[in-house]
Chain A
Amino acid sequence: MTDNSFYKALKKLFEGASSQPQNQQDSWLDKHCTDPDLIREVRSLLEADRKADSTGAGFLDPELARQIASAALDSEENSRPGDVIGQYRIIKPIARGGMGEVYRAERVGGTFEQQVALKVTRFSASSTHGRQRFFDEQGILARLEHPNIARLIDGGLWESPDITSNGRPYLVMEYVDGVRITQYCSAKKLDLVSRLKLFQTVCEAVDYAHRNLVVHRDLKPANILVSIEGQVKLLDFGVAKLLDEEVTGLDPQTRLMTPEYSAPEQLLGRTITTATDVYSLGLVLYELISEQRPFDFDGIAPAEAMRLITEDKPANPSSAAKALPWARQIKGDLDVIVAKALNKEPERRYTSARAFSDDLQRFEKGLPIDARPDRWSYRTGKFIHRNRWETVAASLAVILLLASTIAATLSAHRTEQALARAQVESAKSQQTVEFLSNLFAAADPRQTEGETVSVADVLDRGTARIEELANQPEVQATLLSELGRIHTTLGHYDQALVMLQRAAKLQQETLGPNEPALADTFHRWSIAADESGDLDSAVTQARAALEIRQVSLPAKHPDLGESFDRMGAALGGLGRYEEAEPYMRRAVQILNGSASEKDNRSLTAQHNLAWLLGRLQRFEESERVYREVVQISESLQGPNDPELLVTRDSLAVILRRQGKLDEAESIYRDVLDRRIEVFGESHSVVGVTRHNLARLLAERGQLEEARDQYTLALSNWETSLGSEHANLGVGYSNLGVVQENLNETMAAAGSYSKSIAILEQHRPRMDQRLGDSKFRLGRLLAGRKECGNALPFLESAVEIREQNSQAANALAEARLELAGCLLSLDRLAAGKTALDKAMEQFVTDPTAHSQELLRIRNMQSSLASVRMPSAD
């Protein structure tokens, strides 16, 4: 360093002297300074100052810098071409993003032309550790060899000569000449099937990488290119990780330049897994099938974008795709598939890219898909305020976990006490949930999410814990039974049934035959069986529970009432209404006397009784009971109570049966709105209301809206209940009737066939509704002169209706159709018998339509004309 005071003085003197006219500068200097060295220096600088100004337009004019910079940069058309990085010479820039720049480059001294994509990051690998990580990760990526993944060829740290840095990581990758997958699809106007095929290729490539333990972390259309030959190539696999904070020393937030394609866990700074890629794939699929992005980030603040991604459910792709020809095709299943991939909770998405792709394949083949509409996409914290059902389930789940933790340390006896205590605590459910979930979070080292533990998480971990309790079968059975119940509430019937069955077996082995706990399990099993559509099993389990409770509980115990109710409901489900009634009456009697007003089991039993009365055609009685339930329930729970909505829906059915159509319709529409609000569009109860509304509309002659509501109801059930659920059997049959009335005959035949196929799996062979579907299909086929095909359906319909006494008129109707068919097929004797029997009913029935009598006459006369020649 030069002497400080020397320059201080020099500056002063220079400033003073330079402000003087030139001819007075020397004398000014002599006056103000005595140091000859200093004076000489200032004089020299003053001379330089003069010369600098005199040389034309000024020395160091900033304008000059601009011109030099411009000339330098302009002389080559692109940046850095000619620069050599590693063994590669840059040809031209391709892109620039948050991470750095990408260039097209070629290998120096390569014997043949090999073009590569060269990515130079803008960050330096700051530490030794970072460098090591960079090379480790690079080694892993270099091993990925897949036709649809752009290969990582080389990489290194570039000591840029320009700036002092510790070496900027660069990567050399296979150069792909292609366009974004989204652009490719719209430019080529690909149809839905081709788009799905292309997307499945992407899934396969992602799955390959996942199996090699590489997560992409930044999948988006810009990283999924399609070449001119139509080949898909995924770019930048694992590059995000390769350049993460451990390598570059940068805060991960720094890199979040495009939230559009970030998964919630990325924004929340949580663990990134293969599920993160599944989410991104979901976004890509969404865009491919709807040509829209699920979230609109235009002009919104980052905080709002964050909220959208972490909390908001995007519109279904089918509604985003309204303008596209396949909007209807993707409604339902494909909506559900995308929603599953886009679940906010990673563990509720598809377990792998392959599972995702497989479900798409099922969709393409028209098979039932795996995904179910999600009712649980939010975290418990939110749900506690939204819906008491879920709250109860969540609190129970957490109690279970606490119980199982205790169980691991205490003796079985003391565990039971602890469990009992925990159940008492459940009354304070919300506090309990928070307290216990924190407790559990603390106990689990893998748990990093604390307050945001999801119900699914809790259940999964609870299940895992149960397996650790094999040496305490009693506790294990209790937990299995509880967990089975919760799974039933959540609609996971398969899991529920497995658990309940196991619980019952364990309890039978350890407790003996008449234990209340075993009865509880049978009771829950019956509910699970009922809801899953296994009606016979529902009756069997209900009876088993009732038998135990009858011998082990006092005559007025509410649990006994509950069991009578369950038994009545199960029998009713099988259509054994008369048998069911005494059970139901007994249930209401016990529960009205014993349960508090707020115990909804009492209301449930009354509701079920009203339903049964309706089935027995005793509409006025039924209506009265329903209205009672509605009134009490509304005053206790408010207008959006899910169970109140069930009762109002059922009340509307009874009103419809009595011809009170206006009131029925207004109830349906109101219930529909509330259910969508409370449960969301894809819940099965929304399907129920749509179905019932459709039936009413059909009756009122509003056929097109009826057809549309039926269709919505059916697609709802297919996804919410699975394509084999008994509800679908009834719904398809009803849809068929409307379609026939709209002259959509082929569609109607298809609907009936589906109905029959489904009902045959569920209902007893002689079920009335199965008979209806067979009759309707038979009649339709006969009308199309396909009597050979119609015959088996009509024969079976007649047989079923013969067994159902209340369908006398319907029986005659079926016989008449059968007769017509038999006669057309020249089976004259059998035809005549059927005809005579039909005649018998119709002439005695004052309500028979003249049209039918006319048909009978016509058939009789044609029969006669056939006979006459044969009599010759």
Chain B
Amino acid sequence: MDITRLLKAANDGQEDAMEQLAPLVYDELRWLAHRQMQQEYGPRTLSTTGLVHEAYLKLVEGEELPAENRGHFFAAAARAMRQIMVSEARRRGAEKRGGHAVHLTLDSSSVSIDELSTEILALDQALDRLENVDGRMAQIVECRFFGGLTVDETSIAVSASTRTVKRDWRLARAWLFRELNSAASEPA
């Protein structure tokens, strides 16, 4: 696969390499996700982090890559997972439903999937705004939340220390919570 070369190019700072990488990772994840969900037996819950790792192994075909290349993959995978969830939400027509307070907590799993979809879209938009404030914080949210990555993996993906990742994650979460709940009733 071309992907190892793309990862290396991304590591050399080639912007377009990351752009080419994204759809490949996206497709792979999407496929794996659907396959996971279509299995007749086993848990009906997706393992996002498992998916990312599976996609990684599949795409680099077992090749041993330096940590920083793997980091680019993680970043691309987390972005892809975000896109998958957002596009599912859009497909459900979640955009048309009016805003309400966004919880996005495990408690809200009792809420219908349609409502959760609306919340995901709101989060997506808030994340875009956060990106304008601080790109790395937005990326860390992508990795931790959408990609299911650990702190260590996230630190590789965004090229920052684990301490920075922990701090920024907590700050970003607070920022997003305020963003989503204060102006919650108005569509962004």
Contact surface of B with A, Cβ cutoff 8 Å: 1-2, 19, 22-24, 26-27, 30-31, 33-34, 37-38, 44-49, 81, 83-92, 103-109, 113, 116-117, 120, 123, 132-134, 141, 144-146, 148, 167-168, 170-171, 173-178, 181
Question: How far is it, in angstroms, between the C-alpha of A44 and the C-alpha of B181 when the chains are bound?
Answer: 12
A45's partner among B106, B144, B178 (CB-CB below 8 A) is B178
B residues in contact with A164, CB < 8 Å = 19, 22
B residues in contact with A77, CB < 8 Å = 38
Report whether A78 and B90 are in contact in the complex, using a CB–CB cutoff of 8 Å. no
Interface SS of chain B: helix
Report whether A73 and B37 are in contact in the complex, using a CB–CB cutoff of 8 Å. yes
Report whether B26 and A162 are in contact in the complex, using a CB–CB cutoff of 8 Å. yes
Q: Find the residue from A44, A59, A77, A123 having the highest chain B CB count within 10 A.
A: A59
Which single residue of chain B is at the shortest CB-CB distance from A61?
Answer: B106
Question: How far is it, in angstroms, between the C-alpha of A46 and the C-alpha of B170 when the chains are bound?
Answer: 10
Report whether B31 and A96 are in contact in the complex, using a CB–CB cutoff of 8 Å. yes
Which single residue of chain A is at the shortest CB-CB distance from B168?
Answer: A11
Give, as a whole number of angstroms, the nearest-CB distance from A94 to chain B: 13
Report whether A72 and B85 are in contact in the complex, using a CB–CB cutoff of 8 Å. yes
Report whether A163 and B22 are in contact in the complex, using a CB–CB cutoff of 8 Å. yes
Stretch from A47-55, A414-422, A742-750, A797-805 at the B interface: A47-55
Report whether B44 and A48 are in contact in the complex, using a CB–CB cutoff of 8 Å. no
Question: How far is it, in angstroms, between the C-alpha of A583 and the C-alpha of B148 when the chains are bound?
Answer: 94
Question: How far is it, in angstroms, between the C-alpha of A49 and the C-alpha of B84 when the chains are bound?
Answer: 28
Report whether B85 and A68 are in contact in the complex, using a CB–CB cutoff of 8 Å. yes
A165's partner among B23, B146, B178 (CB-CB below 8 A) is B23
A residues in contact with B141, CB < 8 Å = 60
Given A52-B173, A70-B37, residue A64 in contact with residue B45 (CB < 8 A) = no
Give, as a whole number of angstroms, the nearest-CB distance from B143 to chain A: 10
Report whether B117 and A161 are in contact in the complex, using a CB–CB cutoff of 8 Å. no
A163's partner among B26, B116, B148 (CB-CB below 8 A) is B26
Which single residue of chain B is at the shortest CB-CB distance from A7?
Answer: B134
26 example contacts (A-B, Cβ-Cβ < 8 A) are as follows A2-B133, A11-B167, A11-B171, A15-B171, A45-B174, A49-B174, A52-B173, A56-B106, A57-B107, A58-B106, A59-B103, A59-B104, A61-B105, A62-B148, A64-B105, A64-B109, A65-B148, A66-B148, A67-B109, A68-B116, A69-B81, A72-B85, A101-B27, A122-B23, A163-B83, A250-B2
Contact surface of A with B, Cβ cutoff 8 Å: 1-2, 7, 10-11, 14-15, 18, 44-49, 51-52, 55-75, 77-79, 82-83, 93, 96, 100-101, 122-124, 161-165, 250-251, 253-254
Report whether B105 and A51 are in contact in the complex, using a CB–CB cutoff of 8 Å. no
Question: How far is it, in angstroms, between the C-alpha of A64 and the C-alpha of B144 when the chains are bound?
Answer: 11
B residues in contact with A101, CB < 8 Å = 27, 31
Report whether A68 and B120 are in contact in the complex, using a CB–CB cutoff of 8 Å. yes
Report whether A72 and B117 are in contact in the complex, using a CB–CB cutoff of 8 Å. yes
Report whether B144 and A62 are in contact in the complex, using a CB–CB cutoff of 8 Å. yes
Give, as a whole number of angstroms, the nearest-CB distance from B46 to chain A: 4
Given A52-B174, A78-B38, residue A15 in contact with residue B134 (CB < 8 A) = no
A residues in contact with B171, CB < 8 Å = 10-11, 14-15, 45, 49
Report whether A59 and B84 are in contact in the complex, using a CB–CB cutoff of 8 Å. no
B residues in contact with A48, CB < 8 Å = 174-175, 177-178, 181
Report whether B44 and A49 are in contact in the complex, using a CB–CB cutoff of 8 Å. no
Question: How far is it, in angstroms, between the C-alpha of A158 and the C-alpha of B20 when the chains are bound?
Answer: 17
Q: Find the residue from A11, A48, A254 having the highest chain B CB count within 10 A.
A: A48
Q: Find the residue from B27, B113, B133 having the highest chain A CB count within 10 A.
A: B27
Q: Find the residue from B26, B109, B148, B171 having the highest chain A CB count within 10 A.
A: B171
Which single residue of chain B is at the shortest CB-CB distance from A257?
Answer: B1
Report whether A72 and B107 are in contact in the complex, using a CB–CB cutoff of 8 Å. no
Given A61-B106, A64-B106, A82-B91, residue A69 in contact with residue B134 (CB < 8 A) = no
Report whether A15 and B167 are in contact in the complex, using a CB–CB cutoff of 8 Å. yes
Question: How far is it, in angstroms, between the C-alpha of A48 and the C-alpha of B85 when the chains are bound?
Answer: 25
Report whether B145 and A65 are in contact in the complex, using a CB–CB cutoff of 8 Å. yes
Which single residue of chain B is at the shortest CB-CB distance from A50?
Answer: B174
Report whether B45 and A70 are in contact in the complex, using a CB–CB cutoff of 8 Å. yes
A73's partner among B22, B34, B49, B148 (CB-CB below 8 A) is B34
B residues in contact with A47, CB < 8 Å = 178
Report whether B88 and A72 are in contact in the complex, using a CB–CB cutoff of 8 Å. yes
Question: How far is it, in angstroms, between the C-alpha of A79 and the C-alpha of B48 when the chains are bound?
Answer: 17
Report whether B167 and A70 are in contact in the complex, using a CB–CB cutoff of 8 Å. no
A residues in contact with B133, CB < 8 Å = 2, 7
A residues in contact with B108, CB < 8 Å = 56, 64
Question: How far is it, in angstroms, between the C-alpha of A75 and the C-alpha of B107 when the chains are bound?
Answer: 20
B residues in contact with A69, CB < 8 Å = 33, 46, 48, 81, 84-85, 88
Given A65-B148, A165-B23, residue A71 in contact with residue B116 (CB < 8 A) = yes
Question: How far is it, in angstroms, between the C-alpha of A122 and the C-alpha of B2 when the chains are bound?
Answer: 13
- A-B complex: 6 closest residue pairs judged by Cβ atoms: A56-B107, A57-B106, A48-B178, A72-B88, A49-B174, A70-B46
Report whether B2 and A72 are in contact in the complex, using a CB–CB cutoff of 8 Å. no
Give, as a whole number of angstroms, the nearest-CB distance from B75 to chain A: 15
